Amino acid sequence: MCLAIPGKVVEIRGHMAKVDFKGILRLVDISMLEDVRIGDYVVVHVGFAISKLDEKEAKETLKLWDEILRGI
Amino acid sequence: MADILAKKFRDKEKIASLVKYIKKISEGKKYTFMHVCGTHEQTIARFNLRAILPSNVKLIAGPGCPVCITPAKDIDTAIKLAEKNKVLTYGDMLRVPGTRDSLFTAKAKGADVGIVYSIKDAKKIAEKTDKNVVFFSPGFETTACTVATEVLKGLPENMFILSSLRLIPPIMELLLGIGDVRFEGYIAPGHVSAVIGYGAYEYIAKAYHMPIVVAGFEPLDILLAVALLIRQIKKGDAKVENEYSRVVTKEGNTKAKRAMEEAFYVASDIWRGIGRVPFSALKLRNEEVDAEKVFKIKIEKSIDIKPNCSCHLVIIGKISPFECKMFAKACTPENPYGACMVSSEGTCYIAYMNYANEK
């Protein structure tokens, strides 16, 4: 029950959004997030988006891997 | 984008070089790290990370499965409520043992028990029936904020909440406070942290001099967290680092936190196998929707851990499932004896599914 998974917002209707989980579409409550846009990736838990996925930050984490290996 | 990212965080070469790095920096010393998240345990088991890490670096599972730590008294209460009302809950709650019955066996005896994916589904069902509907919700902060949001929006008149909601930081603190700490760092749960923010652990890192790294759910996330924890220990640091910055911020989800504060107050309550944990449970401020207050069910005596069950030791990471004499014998996913064998996030269930042939 405690699994949260990322999906892509494809449609927004008020505080609900249609989210694509690798082909499976589900209505998700986005009222806990600010400024959700079509194309955003959101982390969804029991029907609610709890966080957005930040691509820039993801790249930063991958950079962290580089830094660690370089011993910084 | 999510797929591409997932692939990058599963990149074989990156993983291999990181493991090599961990081997190098951990040489000559033993390190044990605890995570408190069922989904972390799934990643660790699914990608067999314990096997690729050097033998001096150990990962142990703590109390990270909400289903496992829901006390028998709450299951017993839900069963009692289901005699006269409709009780709706998440699918993996059904087989969790209560003192005598589980919701599953109670249902077979005629109790009105149903499965939902979300509190929203429970609301829809309540709107279509005259019967009283009780939504039985275990879960940590990730679930609590969804219950809070719907309670604040307003529930149908015939709908009530039975809350077994629990908080993660108090249990992390308790495990450090009871002494006999056998680990050197925490891997903090990514999605709970998405809600509460990584700032929520700073007092623990400081007060207990305990390195903490918030991690995501891909193999590279876990390995990065391990590397960061070792790096902290070698430097003598004890701080909170955020490896999962693509999802987690320092403040977390402020709307979700506000909703939880408005809907709930913090109380002390029982965790299965652990006992009463101070300030670790969420109770409803609105007594009119609180099933405990409205229906006043009294459970005189409940049993969390049955004879020979070692769930209480597995839950706090003292033993591995393989050290329990019931494991994979009298306790299997088809016929779970202890709560840790029920949910796909339970430590014993995951061990059974991923490592059963490797013992």
Instruction: Convert the pLDDT of each residue in B284-318 to its tens digit.
Output: 999 999 999 999 999 999 999 999 999 999 999 99
Name the band, by pLDDT with cuts 50, 70 and 90, for residue A62: confident
* Residue B176 domain flag: yes
Which one of B242, B265, B282 terminates a domain? Answer: B242
DSSP string over B121-162: HHHHHHHT-SS-EEEEEEE-HHHHHHHHHHHHH---TTEEEE
Name the band, by pLDDT with cuts 50, 70 and 90, for residue A2: low
pLDDT at B190: 96
pLDDT at B358: 56
* Residue B313 domain flag: no
Rounded-to-integer distance, Cα B330 and Cα B339, Å: 13
CATH of the domain at A31: 2.30.30.140
How confident is the model over B201-220, as a mean pLDDT? 97
How confident is the model over B122-135, as a mean pLDDT? 98
CA distance A50 to chain B (A): 7
Name the band, by pLDDT with cuts 50, 70 and 90, for residue B356: low
Of B40, B246, B4, B47, nearest to A22 by C-alpha is B4
Contacts of A63 in chain B (CB under 8 A): none
Q: Are the C-beta atoms of residues B163 and B147 closer than 8 Å to each other?
A: yes
Phi, psi of B80 (to 5 degrees): -60, -45
Name the band, by pLDDT with cuts 50, 70 and 90, for residue A5: confident
Contacts of B344 in chain A (CB under 8 A): 3
Q: What percent of chain B has pLDDT over 90?
A: 93
Test B145 with A50 for CB contact under 8 angstroms.
yes
* A-B C-beta contacts closer than 8 Å: 132
Residue of A nearest to B254 (CA): A32
Test A1 with B243 for CB contact under 8 angstroms.
no
If one counts the domains in chain B, the total is: 3
Residues B140 and B275 in one domain: yes
**Distance spanning both ends of chain B, measured CA to CA:** 38
How confident is the model over B199-216, as a mean pLDDT? 97
Name the band, by pLDDT with cuts 50, 70 and 90, for residue B48: very high
* Residue B26 domain flag: yes
The closest CB to that of B17, out of A45, A47, A69, belongs to: A69
Residues B236 and B197 in one domain: yes
| Interface residues of chain A, partner chain B, Cβ below 8 Å | 1-4, 6-8, 22, 29, 31-34, 41, 43, 45-48, 50-55, 57-58, 60-62, 64-65, 68-69
* Residue B108 domain flag: yes
Residues B102 and B184 in one domain: no
CATH of the domain at B150: 3.40.50.11740
If one counts the domains in chain A, the total is: 1
Encoded tokens for B254: 């402020």
Beta strand B159-165 with A24-29 is unpaired
Residue of B nearest to A55 (CA): B246
How confident is the model over A18-47, as a mean pLDDT? 95
* Residue B349 domain flag: yes
Contacts of B14 (CB under 8 A, 6+ apart): A65, B8, B220
Q: What percent of chain B has pLDDT over 70?
A: 97
CA distance B261 to chain A (A): 14
Which structural domain, as residue segments, surrounds residue B128?
Answer: 67-167+252-295
Contacts of A62 in chain B (CB under 8 A): 8-9
Residue of B nearest to A7 (CA): B2
pLDDT at B333: 94
Calculate the CA B278 to chain-centre distance.
Answer: 17
Return mean pLDDT, chain A.
91
pLDDT at B357: 56
Test B255 with A34 for CB contact under 8 angstroms.
yes
Residues B73 and B59 in one domain: no
Rounded-to-integer distance, Cα B191 and Cα B185, Å: 19
pLDDT at A64: 85
Residues B45 and B72 in one domain: no
Residues B71 and B149 in one domain: yes
Which one of B199, B224, B242 terminates a domain? Answer: B242
Phi, psi of A18 (to 5 degrees): -85, 125
Test B143 with A45 for CB contact under 8 angstroms.
yes
Q: Is B350 left (phi over 0), alpha (psi -120 to 50) or beta?
A: alpha
CA distance A18 to chain B (A): 15
The SS3 call for residue B120 is: helix
pLDDT at B4: 64
Residues B199 and B58 in one domain: yes
Which structural domain, as residue segments, surrounds residue A15?
Answer: 5-70
CA distance A2 to chain B (A): 7
Test A54 with B246 for CB contact under 8 angstroms.
yes
Residues B75 and B161 in one domain: yes
Name the band, by pLDDT with cuts 50, 70 and 90, for residue B182: confident
How confident is the model over B210-239, as a mean pLDDT? 97
- pTM reported for the whole predicted model: 0.95
Is the pLDDT confidence value at B359 over 60? no
Beta strand B275-284 with B31-35 is unpaired
CATH of the domain at B10: 3.40.50.11750
Q: Rg (Cα) of chain A, in Å, rounded?
A: 15
The residues with which B174 forms a beta bridge, in sequence order, are none
CA distance B245 to chain A (A): 6
* Residue B310 domain flag: no
Test B224 with A43 for CB contact under 8 angstroms.
no
Contacts of B38 in chain A (CB under 8 A): 2
Sign of CA dihedral B216, B217, B220, B226: positive
Test B93 with A6 for CB contact under 8 angstroms.
no
Contacts of B199-204 spanning 24+ positions with Cβ under 8 A:
B199/B240, B199/B250, B199/B251, B199/B252, B200/B169, B200/B252, B201/B169, B201/B172, B201/B240, B202/B239, B202/B240, B204/B169, B204/B172, B204/B173, B204/B176
Rounded-to-integer distance, Cα B55 and Cα B317, Å: 17
Residues B56-110 pLDDT 10s: 999 999 999 999 999 999 999 999 999 999 999 999 999 999 999 999 999 999 9
The closest CB to that of B66, out of A2, A52, A65, belongs to: A2
Where helices occur in A1-72 by DSSP H, the ranges are: 55-69
The closest CB to that of A60, out of B1, B18, B245, belongs to: B245
pLDDT at A67: 84
Residues B212 and B256 in one domain: no
pLDDT at B181: 79
